[in-house]
Amino acid sequence: MERRQGYGNGSPSDEITRILEDLQRKIPQLPTSGISSWVIGVVLLLLWLGSGFYVVGPGERGVVMLFREATEQTEPGLRYRLPWPIQSHEVVDVAQVRRAEVGFRTVSDGISDRGGRGSTRTVPQEALMLTGDENIVELQLFVQYRVQDPVKFLFGASDPEGILHTSAEVALRSAVGRNTIDYTMTEGRMEVQEQTKIAPQELLDAYQTGLLATEVRLLVVDPPSEVRDAFHDVVRALEDRDRLVKEAEGYKEDVVPKARGEAAQMVQQAEGYKAQRVIRAQGDAERFLKILAEYDKAKAITRDRLYLESVERIMPNMEKFILDSGAKSGVLPLLPLKGLATTPAASPPERESAATPTAGTER
């Protein structure tokens, strides 16, 4: 980590003189026997030499520097280099897949490198971006990457991971800026993702970051929260449209078969009527012909009989007045008191007989 420190070694000469003074003050206190001072010297030398051991863990790569010039890379295991200030080393994890988040941050320290979208928090100034049709859309994206070239990663650019983050943001915004909001939110989503995938790798190479983007994925493509309701309402409207159509189709399903049933009923009724008419007519005809056959045999008698039978059936319930034909031309010869009588039906015979005497007998 020493590389990240500045170069503020103010005045090295002052520092050294101070250390020397310190040492000189301490030396007289040490046991001055020759052997023990040699032992101390050897122990110090061994300690100094021993400081050159270091461990490169699995999935890591060591970079050894001779006088701070990168000279070799070492594989995992226990390694040795010459001690400071001759050689130094850096260890870089090249296997770990890291993750950069654009538009959001995983709150619970995202060690889980995949899918673990437990609790995230949006970063509006990153997430909100302008589309090509002057709308604003909210996007969240993550980039997975790993170190491809440890030397470049260490010495190629300052803050390579920051460069990756910015490059992804630049590519994403540029891709979104080329498309409309509807396209970005629907079928263009994959295209935006692809465009965002290609561009950053070029930049990562150009800026000597030594990083390799392995995966770019759009997590969220949403309208901004300010207008989300309106967008949701569009979805609801779409549902409403389908519902209305379905309801109308339901109406149709209901009405048409009913009409067909009614039609069948009408036709059946008509058939019935027709059959009935014909059969009845035949019956009537049969009857008439039968009677006629008998009638032909004795016309006058039958005619009279039929007539009188009919009269018998009709007459009893009728009010009857028998008037002389001579009175026809005069004023009404009879006051119809029927309406005033309490029981008109009971007394017609008397009135008939009362009227009878006036009736003339001549004919």
Partner 1 sequence: MARFIPGLALALAFILAQTSFTIGEWEQGMIIQFGNPKRILKEPGLYFKVPFIQTLVRFEKRVLTTDARMAEYLTLDKKRVLVDHVSRWRIQDPLGFYSSVRDQQRAMARLDDLISARLRQETAEHNFLDFVREKREAIMAVVTKDTKETAKAFGIEVLDVRIKALDLPQEVQASVFARMRAERERIAKRYRAEGDERAREIRAGADREREVILATAYEASQKLSGEGDAQATTIYAQAFGQSPEFYAFTRRLQAYEKILSNGTTLVLPPDSELLRYLQNPQGQ
Site for partner 1 in 128-167 (CB under 8 A): 128-132, 134-136, 151, 154-159, 162-163, 166-167
Minimum gap (Å) between residue 346 Cβ and partner 1: 15
Separation between Cα atoms, residue 256 and residue 249, nearest integer Å: 11
Q: Are 157 and 141 in contact (CB under 8 A)?
A: no
| Interaction residues for partner 1, span 38-67 (CB under 8 A) | 65-67
Q: Are 211 and 148 in contact (CB under 8 A)?
A: yes
Q: How many CB atoms lie within 10 A of CB 157?
A: 19
Minimum gap (Å) between residue 184 Cβ and partner 1: 13
User: Can residue 298 be called a binding residue for partner 1 (CB under 8 A)?
Assistant: no
User: Can residue 183 be called a binding residue for partner 1 (CB under 8 A)?
Assistant: no
| Options 10-18, 74-82, 104-112, 186-194: segment touching partner 1 (CB under 8 A) | 10-18
Convert residues 198-237 into a mask of x (bound to partner 1 by CB under 8 A) and - (unbound). Answer: -----x--xxxx-------------xx-xx--xx-xx-xx
Biggest distance spanned by C-alpha atoms of the chain: 194
Q: How many residues bind partner 1 (CB under 8 A)?
A: 125
| Interaction residues for partner 1, span 261-280 (CB under 8 A) | 262-264, 266-267, 269-271, 273-278, 280
Helical pair 160-178 and 189-206, crossing angle rounded to 10 deg: 140
Minimum gap (Å) between residue 41 Cβ and partner 1: 10
The single residue listed with the structure tokens 């770990």 is: 96
The smaller minimum CB distance to partner 1, of residues 107 and 270, is found at 270
Minimum gap (Å) between residue 280 Cβ and partner 1: 7
Separation between Cα atoms, residue 62 and residue 153, nearest integer Å: 12
Nearest to 184 by CA among 137, 236, 230, 217: 137
User: Can residue 314 be called a binding residue for partner 1 (CB under 8 A)?
Assistant: yes
Minimum gap (Å) between residue 247 Cβ and partner 1: 6
Minimum gap (Å) between residue 107 Cβ and partner 1: 23
**98, β-bridge pairs:** 145
Minimum gap (Å) between residue 68 Cβ and partner 1: 4
Of the candidates 42, 43, 82, 281, which one interacts with partner 1 according to CB under 8 A?
A: 281
Give the DSSP H/E element, type plus range, for residue 13.
Answer: helix 12-26
Separation between Cα atoms, residue 19 and residue 21, nearest integer Å: 5
User: Can residue 292 be called a binding residue for partner 1 (CB under 8 A)?
Assistant: yes
User: Can residue 324 be called a binding residue for partner 1 (CB under 8 A)?
Assistant: yes
Minimum gap (Å) between residue 42 Cβ and partner 1: 15
User: Can residue 35 be called a binding residue for partner 1 (CB under 8 A)?
Assistant: no
| Interaction residues for partner 1, span 87-116 (CB under 8 A) | none
The smaller minimum CB distance to partner 1, of residues 7 and 109, is found at 7
Cα dihedral 234/236/242/247 (nearest 10)? -140
The smaller minimum CB distance to partner 1, of residues 38 and 53, is found at 38
| Options 12-20, 52-60, 105-113, 213-221: segment touching partner 1 (CB under 8 A) | 12-20
Q: Is the C-alpha dihedral spanning 204, 209, 210, 214 positive or negative?
A: negative
Nearest to 99 by CA among 122, 117, 124: 117
Separation between Cα atoms, residue 160 and residue 332, nearest integer Å: 133
Burial classification of residue 108, based on how many CB atoms lie within 10 Å of its CB (0-12 exposed, 13-18 middle, 19 or more buried): exposed
Of the candidates 238, 298, 341, 354, which one interacts with partner 1 according to CB under 8 A?
A: 238
DSSP 83: P
